[in-house]
Amino acid sequence: MDINKTTIQPIKYRESWFSYFDLLGFSRLVREHIIEYVLPLYEEVLETIAEKAGPKEKHGISYSWFSDTFIVYTKSDSLKDFGHIEQASRLFFQKLIIREIPVRGAMTIGKLYTNKVKNIFLGEALIDAYEYAEDQDWLGFILTPSIYHKLKNGPFDLSQRLHYRRVENSRIFKNKNRDNVYAFAFNNGALNGRNAFIDAIQSMKRQAGEAHIQKYRNTEQFIEKHGRMEDFTFDQAKDSRKQEVMP
């Protein structure tokens, strides 16, 4: 079939920041709990993103979801948009973990086409984030190598980010290369000197089947190594505080 190129309408296929979240064990959550329990959890975690997106998505952040999949994305690849989506995605991830909802997520940058009215999302950003999210054998939120290369040597260099550490454990990924992958370090709070996420992780581990135990062990090991704020040097903390306030 011949296609007249003059009839093809240009589409907005542009560089965007994109986060993908997969809620683990969501089917079991729905089967074992009444809908009055599940829906408030949905609403609560969505409010975290909505608060950051602002009315009419004034901060350039949009989001969508279907069943156990949540996505967050921006309209551009600006550093300002990175600041907004990174914070919204990180807080969204934390909210789920604290509420004992197992989740893994990945944020990337790449070409993306969106049609929110028709709920259509296509592009390399979606594929990259999906592949990295699904390949993780733990409960974590990572920034993919595409973000590392986009930000390196700039004001948002990942090696200087307060809440992220390089992924070194080869068991965290099943197939993907871990080079230049950074993950949320679970290091932004403590209760009575104890990492605030540990109890939630261990509670979820007790409920998980034997086949899923390793992903919780991988998470615990990462928290044990990186989940203390005092491991960050003074100069790194000073630089990161500047980054946190400059979207």
> In angstroms, rounded to a whole number, what is the distance separating the alpha carbons of residues 45 and 48?
5
- Least confident range of 10-14, 26-30, 164-168, 235-239: 235-239
Q: Kindly tell me if the per-residue pLDDT of 158 is higher than 70.
A: yes
- Residue 215 pLDDT level (bands cut at 50, 70, 90): very high
How does pLDDT run across 35-52, given as a tens digit for each residue? 666 667 667 766 766 676
Domain 11-245 - what CATH class? Answer: alpha beta
Nearest to 244 by CA among 17, 57, 82: 82
Asked if residue 30 has pLDDT above 80, the reply is no
- Residue 34 has what pLDDT? 58
Looking at every residue in the chain, the average pLDDT score rounds to 82
Q: Domain ranges in the chain?
A: 11-245
Question: Is 56 a residue whose pLDDT tops 70?
Answer: no
Calculate the alpha carbon distances from 36 to 40, 89, 95, 189 in Å: 7, 25, 19, 31
Which three-class secondary structure state does DSSP give residue 91?
Answer: helix
Q: Return the percentage of the chain with pLDDT > 90, whole number.
A: 47
pTM of the complete model: 0.82
Total Cβ atoms within 10 A of residue 99: 12
